[in-house]
Chain A
Amino acid sequence: MSPAPSKNYTDDVSLLVVTLDTNPFFWSDFPSHFSDFLSQVLAFLNSILLLGQLNQVVVIATGCNSCSYVYDSSSNKNHASTNGTMPALYSNLLHNLDEFIAKDKQLTTAHEPGNVPSSLLSGSLSKALCYIQRAFRSGPMHPQPRILCLQGSPDGPEQYVAIMNAIFSAQRSSVPVDSCYIASSNSSNSAFLQQASYITGGIYYKPPQLDGLFQYLSAVFATDLHSRAFLRLPKSLGVDFRASCFCHKKTIDTGYVCSVCLSIFCEHHDKCSTCSSVFGQAQSVAASTDNRKRKAE
């Protein structure tokens, strides 16, 4: 067995940024109650803080119309307001969460019934990454950051570009995005979160039953980045990277891509419906590349 690399401050100290899905439309349709879910998550967050004195937890609430920071374990305010009956984490977080949900409710506009709107994952991911950049700036002795998305609402297609931008930025600063997808039906998966975890090297896991959520959270997502190398964590079951065309929303194997705006089509068009550029003579790419000299290595 090869010896473990020498441990220093940054090895197993974690900065965990949690994005918490508070979408009221999702939770009202969901079989189990939001408070059950929250109590298991709070126990998990507490256990992270107990694992190491230097560990840091930040919670961002992802609502349906807004998102906001609800808890930061490093901020001074949290230690002052312990009232003796409840630990600081609970009282602060719950207080802020109440405020946030009330505010989020005010912003809610009418939506069609029977159709759960998505929550603003792109916003909370962007905020989480900004926060992590601040940790990077704080000096060479910063904790190892990671993001955990506790998400239940379906993906919002209109957020696709923004979420992909956030994923690539996380990948570039090597911040893993773990995702725990909570959904009642067994078949559904979040394609956004699967891609996020796959691209950034995080873990995607969908707990089979929510009663034991704390067990799943503490067994899978509590491990710091240093210890992950020694554990057998859930492997990704293959992510579908095939694109879907803009014209029929079909998933395709081969298709045509507009050279100007990179829109994807499943059949040949004369004009791009996105950027309205007119395409020249259709030419097969194969013919033009064959002209090129290619060195066989």
Chain B
Amino acid sequence: MNNSIAGRPLNEDDEEDEVNEDGLEAWERAYTEDRSWESLQEDESGLLRSIDTSAVQHAQYRRRLRALAANAATARIQKGLIRYLYIVVDLSKAASERDFRPSRMAVIAKQVETFIREFFDQNPLSHVGLVTTKDGVASCLTDLGGSPESHIKALMGKLECSGDASLQNALDLVHSNLNQIPSYGHREVLILYSALSTCDPSDIMETIQKCKKGKMRCSVIGLAAEMFICKHLCQETGGTYSIALDESHFKELILEHCPPPPAIAEYATANLIKMGFPQRAAEGSVAICTCHEEAKTEGGYTCPRCKVRVCELPTECRICGLTLISSPHLARSYHHLFPIVPFVEISASFQNDPSHRFPNTCFGCEESLLSQGNKPELSVYCPKCKQQFCFDCDIYIHESLHNCPGCESFRHSKSITTAQ
């Protein structure tokens, strides 16, 4: 549709670009895309306010939560906590399309940055690598590693697109890299695909079978339209395939890959991993760190095996290869293993039932659950401790806190005897 603009160098007349796109004037375009007036409504006093979309958002969120809970119940409940993930970024000509603002490539880069930070926050024991594909070939941008900054820096420095994307070359490259990781790791690929074609040297079906055999879980997020080959790849390898409608949807889709997926027991063998728990060196002691090769005075960590200094945890010792970690990093992953149950919605009729008397405030934040006119707002309760919560707390508790304040606030008679 707007192919004519895609390949044009940026230094050409910008104004003309804007007029050409979709055959609309710039001022018209802004309105047709935003439709900002539709999200407004008039309140009692005649003021314009944005529509309260929180109820809709909450419904969507609850649907997702239920789907996740259902998944966990059917599959064997085991999570791949030690993940080795390659992100394949399509930098073909299609990535310069402007149906996303300012371009698909810029949107991808921005969201990959958010994703990488969130990913390491949730999976401190995992590793990420970046692969790009353009001009019919795939190249490795960064090796598997645990530092979010280095990946983000490398990606931001390489944002140029040209030529065609090659799914097969990218998969081959990732496959050869992921073959070497330890057997307890979960191999994953996340492909962000803008193109509607793939430029492959030989039969891609063989590559897909190879990936399947190599126990790689391949997931694709498309930015254009659904493609058979991507769908086939995801089905064969147990990944997920989704198409982003707009930027916020794309963000939602990519962030769904942050929590560890339910693991299939045969995909990774259970193993004991040798790890070091370094102590923080005293403030003011001078040592040369191995990560920056500089003399540092502020406290770093000392590898317990070879006594070398590192600046940050978690990492791998550069000298002896020992995985260095601190106990809070392990604790950060525990909530994936002990998730809290989804809360149950309280229907209006249930609320009026005098046999279930609920207090009028949210147990978490003390906010009144009575809206204007004393009509109770919809709320939820925890099936375990029967405490009532507002929608906002429900989302916060499941997305960030991972504790039910109600269950934590009452001691179960059993736990007293176990506390020693």
A interface with B by C-beta (< 8 Å):
64-69, 72, 107, 109, 111-112, 115, 117-118, 120, 122-124, 126-127, 129-131, 133-134, 137, 156-162, 164-169, 172-173, 195, 199, 235, 238-243, 252-262, 264-265, 268-269, 272, 275, 277-280, 282-286, 288-295
Contact = CB atoms under 8 A, between A and B. Distances in A.
A288 B84 CA distance: 14
Residue of B144, B182, B325 most packed against chain A (CB within 10 A): B182
Interface in B243-282: 268-280, 282
Given A126-B408, A161-B334, A277 B403 contact: no
Nearest to A291: B180
A69 B409 contact: no
Residue of B82, B277, B279, B282 most packed against chain A (CB within 10 A): B277
B247 to A, nearest CB: 23
Nearest to A274: B337
A109 B414 CA distance: 10
Given A123-B409, A173-B400, A254-B304, A243 B419 contact: no
Contacts of B330: 243, 257, 262, 264
B272 A282 contact: yes
A120 B406 CA distance: 11
The B contact surface, by secondary structure, is loop
By Cβ-Cβ distance, the 7 closest A-B pairs, closest first, are: A130-B364, A123-B409, A123-B408, A259-B184, A277-B270, A253-B304, A241-B326
A280 B266 CA distance: 12
B410 A66 contact: yes
Given A280-B271, A286-B321, A126 B403 contact: yes
Given A107-B411, A118-B419, A130 B272 contact: no
A115 B367 CA distance: 37
A272 B333 CA distance: 18
Contact of A126 (B325, B328, B364, B416): B364
B403 A254 contact: no
A164 B334 contact: yes
Given A131-B366, A255-B275, A262-B337, 12 more contacts: A111-B416, A120-B408, A120-B411, A159-B408, A161-B331, A162-B403, A165-B335, A241-B326, A243-B327, A259-B268, A262-B330, A290-B321
B392 interface: yes
Contacts of B362: 130
Nearest to B418: A158
Contact of A130 (B143, B299, B332, B396): B396
Contacts of B274: 254-256, 284-286
B365 A134 contact: yes
B191 interface: no
B335 A161 contact: yes
Nearest to A286: B321
B277 A243 contact: yes
Contact of B408 (A162, A254, A275, A286): A162
Contact of B182 (A64, A123, A257, A288): A288
A258 B272 contact: yes
B199 interface: no
B323 interface: yes
Contacts of A235: 283
B327 A242 contact: yes
A253 B277 contact: yes
Given A130-B397, A158-B418, A254-B304, A259 B277 contact: no
Residue of B272, B364, B402, B413 most packed against chain A (CB within 10 A): B272
Contacts of A133: 365, 392-393, 396
A253 B299 CA distance: 18
Contacts of B279: 240-242, 253
Contact of B272 (A68, A160, A269): A269
Contacts of A111: 416-417
B321 A126 contact: no
Given A169-B400, A238-B280, A109 B321 contact: no
Interface in B367-420: 367, 392-393, 396-397, 400-405, 408-411, 413, 415-420
Nearest to B333: A262
Contact of B273 (A124, A256, A261, A275): A256
A104 to B, nearest CB: 10
B57 interface: no
13 contacts: A120-B411, A122-B403, A130-B364, A130-B401, A134-B367, A172-B121, A253-B279, A255-B275, A256-B273, A262-B333, A279-B269, A286-B274, A290-B321
A259 B411 contact: no
B270 A286 contact: no
A112 B278 CA distance: 37
A115 B420 contact: yes
Residue of B328, B415, B418 most packed against chain A (CB within 10 A): B328
B274 to A, nearest CB: 5
B331 A164 contact: yes
Contacts of B323: 285
B338 interface: yes
Contact of B316 (A64, A112, A164, A289): A289
A260 B322 contact: no
A103 to B, nearest CB: 11
Nearest to B54: A137
Contact of A279 (B271, B282, B328, B400): B271
Given A256-B274, A280-B183, A285-B323, A165 B411 contact: no
A122 B405 CA distance: 8
A69 B416 contact: no
Contacts of A65: 410-411
A278 B393 CA distance: 40
B344 interface: no
A120 to B, nearest CB: 6
B105 interface: no
A257 B272 contact: yes
B277 A241 contact: yes
A259 B82 contact: yes
B295 interface: no
B369 to A, nearest CB: 12
B405 A123 contact: yes
Nearest to A58: B366
Interface in B191-216: none
B185 to A, nearest CB: 8
A199 B327 CA distance: 12
